[in-house]
Amino acid sequence: MRVVAAAVSRSWVQTRGFASTARRLDNYAFVGLGQMGYQMARNLQSKLQPGDKVSIFDVNPQSMKGLETEMKAVPSGAKVELAASAFDASKDADTVVTCLPEPQHVKAVYGSILTSSLPKKDRVFIDCSTIDPSTSRDVAKSVADAGQGSFVDAPMSGGVVGATAGTLTFMLGATTSLIPRVEPTLLRMGRKVLHCGDQGAGLSAKLANNYLLALNNIATAEAMNLGIKWGLDPKKLAGVINVSTGRCWPSEVNNPVKGVVETAPANRDYRGGFGISLMKKDLRLAMMAAKEAGADMKLADTAFEVYEDAEKREECAGRDFSVVYRYLGGKEE
């Protein structure tokens, strides 16, 4: 579901490496097979042992069937089982991974799992959804109150490309004692796990990063538009920015001007990449979390209006968030 370029400061998060000491967990559940979850579940299953089992569930039966076909086409990997519900997928699982669109979906799914019919077990629930930390903490409490194990947050960075290639970076919110149980599962779906602190910290780190990304994207689009209107060549302008203090991921990797970065969505009519609706969602979540924390964010409202207005326009809707350059009236030819 979700594509982000995250650069998390190493001064306050750590990369841990406990995979060799983790106990083996044979039964897995994966709930939520959107663009991200589909690829993550595929990688997880392919890297497990033939004696293991992965039960998958999504509200879209076609996604489930398609993934089952892909999984069974691979000679190695865990046994695959289609579940009738999130509850059925989770009832025998030692590890449950969820990857869902919005806070209300996370609440609903965990509400359906944590019923009195669920067999008691010391499970670990890994939620890779990008939601607000407050909702995540509420769900973690419901897992603990039900006596069904532990809940951690592990939102990811790297997008559909990273999910497909298995190169995602996970921002983990969990007690240190849980890392040996959680990290091996995440490393089957990604390349790096950054432990950010206790439960909820992974989401806080991701939302802080994505808030900065949202602002950098608009500023890059404005700066490129300004320079081009002054008569500067866009490639030369980007070259200056990217060896100077204005350098950022939107300027260097996801430049919003066609022809500057060959692999950027701007060269594909802004198709693919991190959708503008997803950026608007993450910005909204960051603003909600900031309000709860009492953090003042002077630029947030203006940035949100930009993404909200741009998304409403036919020429921008459904496209990569760098399409704000088009929204600003930037030259595209």
Return the active site residues.
Answer: 206
Following DSSP, what letter does each residue of 89-123 receive, concatenated? HHTT-SEEEE--SSHHHHHHHHHHHSSTTSPP--E
Phi and psi based region of residue 168 (left: phi greater than 0; alpha: psi -120 to 50; beta: remaining): beta
Which long-range contacts link 164-170 to residues 24+ away (Cβ below 8 Å)?
A: 164/39, 166/43, 166/190, 166/191, 167/191, 168/40, 168/192, 169/6, 169/8, 169/193, 169/194, 170/128, 170/194, 170/202
- Contact (CB, 8 A) for 250 and 261: no
Cα separation of 109 and 89, whole Å?
11
Taking every pair of Cα atoms in the chain, the longest distance, rounded to a whole number of angstroms, is 68
